[in-house]
Amino acid sequence: MLGMLCHYTKKDLQILTLGALLHDLGKIAIPEEILTKNTGLTDEEFAVIKAHPLRGAQRIHEMENMLPHTALLSAIASEHHEHIDGSGYPRGLKDEEIHRYAKIVAIADVYDALTSERPYKKAYTPNVAHNIMCNVIRGQFDPKLLNLFFNNVALYPVGTILKTDYGFGIVKKSAFGKTETPTIVVFANMEGRPIEPYTIDLSTVEDGNHKIHIVVSDNDLRHFIHNLAFDPSVYLK
Ligand SMILES: [Fe+2]
């Protein structure tokens, strides 16, 4: 996202950073038992949750003497759950009505929620979060900002083990704008048997992103490495 933000002044970025840190301030008014509930929320409980953006904005206004740019900081707090298709809360604002900073924080906030463990779910991997945000709930986000975000966030972080058309490989590099097609070192065939390792940049092959079948999960990795009898991370050195 830095590419698009480079024309912003240092002061703009400081406001955005501070706004991102304070965006959920209103949650301090939500009882702990609602925040950590691992079953469905009642309508009343959801109404309490839905009040946190405006409560946060209000608290920021109350700190006018201590905080700079409270109008912008409170816009981020009050609008970070608005969706560009109008399906968000608390006001159901649409695209142009939502402050750009709030749109940026909304993307980071949802990504953080999806990739973090919660009382009701495990943490998703970055590529699963990407899939959900770009396909399942795409209408919530500004498409250009969403694209920029995932141009910068590694969908397959360095060290991730992938099963691909070429066999098993370990991610060696993830480059800006090519996060769907990392460079991997292929070290085992499709059956998981070791082969002479070689490096391939998936961004240079046709439909490189479709060559990836699955991410080998932490659960499977222990057995996989045990059967392999060596640690593939040696190819990252
Ligand atoms: Fe929130």
Q: 218 is in which domain, residue-wise?
A: 161-236
Residue with tokens 């709030």: 102
H-state helical runs in the chain: 2-5, 10-22, 32-35, 43-50, 52-62, 70-79, 100-114, 126-131, 143-152, 218-228
- Ligand 1 center–CA 7 separation, angstroms: 28
Burial of 146 (0-12, 13-18, 19+ CB in 10 A): buried
Give the chain's domain count: 2
Residues 148, 168, single domain; the answer is no
- Ligand 1 center–CA 50 separation, angstroms: 8
Residue with tokens 């479709």: 210
- Ligand 1 center–CA 32 separation, angstroms: 14
Residues 141, 224, single domain; the answer is no
Residues around ligand 1, an ion, CB closer than 5 A: 24
Of 105, 128, 152, the residue that ends a domain is: 152
- Ligand 1 center–CA 92 separation, angstroms: 15
Of 85, 118, 152, the residue that ends a domain is: 152
- Ligand 1 center–CA 174 separation, angstroms: 30
Residues 47, 108, single domain; the answer is yes
Residues 171, 134, single domain; the answer is no
Give the mean pLDDT of the chain.
Answer: 93
- Ligand 1 center–CA 6 separation, angstroms: 26
Residues 169, 188, single domain; the answer is yes
- Ligand 1 center–CA 23 separation, angstroms: 7
Residues 145, 166, single domain; the answer is no
| Span 2-56, pLDDT tens digits | 455 557 899 999 999 999 999 999 999 899 999 888 788 899 999 999 999 999 9
Of 86, 119, 152, the residue that ends a domain is: 152
Q: Are 185 and 197 in contact (CB under 8 A)?
A: yes
Question: Bridge partners of 185?
Answer: 170, 199
For residue 54, the domain's CATH number is 1.10.3210.10
Residue type, 48: V
Residues 112, 201, single domain; the answer is no
| Span 60-107, pLDDT tens digits | 999 999 999 999 999 999 999 999 999 999 999 999 999 999 999 999
Q: What is the pTM of this model?
A: 0.89
Residues 181, 133, single domain; the answer is no
- Ligand 1 center–CA 24 separation, angstroms: 5
Using CA of residue 63, residue 66, residue 71, residue 72, what is the dihedral sign? Answer: negative
Residues 10, 92, single domain; the answer is yes
- Ligand 1 center–CA 120 separation, angstroms: 17
Residues 147, 87, single domain; the answer is yes
- Ligand 1 center–CA 77 separation, angstroms: 8
Residues 222, 110, single domain; the answer is no
Residues 123, 178, single domain; the answer is no
